[in-house]
Chains A and B, each alone.
Chain A
Amino acid sequence: MANHTIAHDVYVPFLEKKGIWSWLLSTDHKRIGIMYLISISFFFLVAGVFALMLRYELLTPVSDFVQPHTYNVLFTLHGSIMVFFFIVPGLAASFGNFLIPLMIGAPDVAFPKLNLGSYWIYLLGTLIVLIALAKPADTGWTFYTPYSATTDTDVVLITLGVFVLGFSSILTGLNFIVTIHKMRAPGMTWHRLPLFIWASYATSVLQLLATPVVGITLLLLITERTLGVGFFDPAKGGDPVLFQNFFWFYSHPAVYIMIIPAMGVISEIIPVFARKPIFGYKAIAYSSLGIAFISFLVWAHHMFTSGISDIAATIFSFLTFLVAIPTAIKVFNWTATLYKGSIHLHSAMLYALAFVFLFTIGGLTGLFLGALAADIHLHDTYFVVAHMHYVMIGGTVMGFFGALHFWYPKWFGRMFNETVAKIAWLFIFIGFNVTFFPQFFLGVQGMPRRYATYPAEFESLMALSTYGSWILGAGIFIMTVNLIAGLINGEKAPQNPYGSLSLEWQVPSPPPLENFEEIPHVTDWSYGYGKKK
């Protein structure tokens, strides 16, 4: 008899069901992850275009492309969209959603409907900010009082949008924490978890506990503007620096929300493409928690020149140095993993290596800024701009692009053109450094940030930075086209093209709806590369 009986259920890839509502109403973590991925990528490109416009204005010392007010709006939108629409949800909402259940051997997250709700709330937040663009804010993404309480632009709506986005972040963090605690497969002990999970856990704690504080802060700003409340208004007995204290209590942990998942990605990519077990698993795992904990202690290092007391400034400067320790531990361990490894320079590995190099620069320059005496000179200069972009692009975005290239076959069941991917990487790497490295020098020489016009002596470095932005933009364009082309006519992906030992690679590409036919029983960690059988 013709034997068509299949010993197991029919493999239904999660991408099978078509139609917009099958996506928008899906509680499947994999689909939700892709929806976040599409949304955040779209906003990344939009905010990137604003950045290109900013840099184009800065080609010359005078305000010839846009007026100063428009320039202020542009950097406010660039910052707000990048921070709140792209990088904070970022790797957590997209890759976290896709990978966490797969990596721990679960069929989905703990609260799938809440997960979908988080995504809808995210969309609502972006919609509110879109409406706010009728009279866009010019306060900078940090919304400092007293200007934000008095400016004529629509601060209420944009901060309301950010408030709503905060809810999405909180609920996602909540979901992931419960998932990791309660839904690990049998045998998946804490010390067998992939490092991306440790990173996601630390990030989720920050999302959960830090975000409410910015929520209340922005609500208070709204009541200043609408009800005449005066907590931040000196004329009414308030203190504008209080806004900064509350704002940075969230926003400093927020930058670790941005970077820790990317570090998790690096910990996953490097062992695979060095064919070596990760060096110092426990150190890396606990350093994620350490970074998250310390990140709550350092917020006022953003306020050294705002008029805080010398005592407070000294305490915060000292605490800031502490955060370098767990961070450095990670860098040492990644480097040690590479040592004597069998290195494969796949595009994902190129991004991971770029991360280690560029993030180290970003992190070290953060120490310069954390040093109180140096910061008095460097605060609000291009040095800060360079530092933050080295950690956010050189760090998080490299991690994001690396994750895209690494898990692409798993998500989409396709392969992209590896050669073009490497070319794009080269443009991005060169373009990024040409854009931002000169900015360290500009900062030390005194060029302030958030200015549309500047003294003529800075023109050559500013122009160089702008040319770099064009190279960077071109690289991102090539990368994007390449990845989309792969979706359309890339070859079908095998289950495990890179020989990874992690659970998500032990299911077909793309994964079936239910993730695992049978929940796996885990007996070892996922970094046993290079072992002889």
Chain B
Amino acid sequence: MSTQSHTGQNHITGNKTYIIVWAVLMVMTAVTVYVSYINFGILNIVIALVVASIKASIVALYFMHLKFEDSITWVFALFPLSLLALLIGMTITDTFTRTIVP
């Protein structure tokens, strides 16, 4: 039995993969900085958040090996994000549907 399966690791990511991921991250960073100089109106924030989320996802999937982790790890990686969405969503709903009595 190989020592790797003995310790439970079963996949060592190669440096080539890492460098490609890094290059993609740098390109996306450049894109997001470039876009910030142009006025797309409301789309600016959408693009910024989408790009940031893609960057975050590939850091998690590749640098953090989430791609190769078991389902329990996925659950605990994603559930906090949904809780965060809930906190932000409901607090904004409350704040912006209040009727201000003059």
Contact = CB atoms under 8 A, between A and B. Distances in A.
Nearest to A182: B72
Nearest to B72: A181
B87 A309 contact: no
A143 to B, nearest CB: 18
Contacts of A308: 94, 98
Interface in A39-66: none
B98 A209 contact: no
A297 B93 CA distance: 14
B87 A307 contact: no
Interface of A: 181, 209, 213, 239, 241-242, 245-246, 249, 296-297, 300, 307-312, 315
Interface residues of B, number: 15
Interface string B25-57: 000000000000000000000000000000000
Contacts of A242: 91, 95
B87 A213 contact: yes
Given A242-B91, A300-B90, A300-B94, A309 B83 contact: no
B98 A307 contact: yes
Given A242-B91, A311-B93, A297 B98 contact: no
Contacts of B79: 209
B14 interface: no
A338 B63 CA distance: 54
Contacts of B97: 309-312
A296 B79 CA distance: 12
A312 B90 contact: yes
A312 B94 contact: yes
Contacts of B90: 245, 300, 312, 315
13 contacts: A209-B79, A209-B83, A213-B87, A249-B87, A297-B86, A300-B90, A300-B94, A307-B98, A310-B99, A311-B97, A312-B93, A312-B97, A315-B93
B91 A245 contact: yes
Contacts of A297: 86
Closest 10 CB pairs of A and B: A312-B94, A309-B97, A309-B98, A311-B97, A308-B94, A245-B91, A309-B94, A249-B87, A312-B93, A209-B80
A307 B79 CA distance: 30
Contacts of A307: 98
A311 B91 CA distance: 12
Contacts of B96: 309
Listed residue (B80, B86, B91) with the most chain A CB atoms within 10 angstroms of its CB: B91
Listed residue (B83, B87, B91, B94) with the most chain A CB atoms within 10 angstroms of its CB: B94
A213 B88 CA distance: 12
Contacts of B98: 307-309
A161 to B, nearest CB: 24
Contacts of B95: 239, 242, 309
A350 B48 CA distance: 60
A249 B94 CA distance: 13
A309 B93 contact: yes
Interface string B59-102: 00000000000001000000110010011001101111111000
Nearest to A208: B76
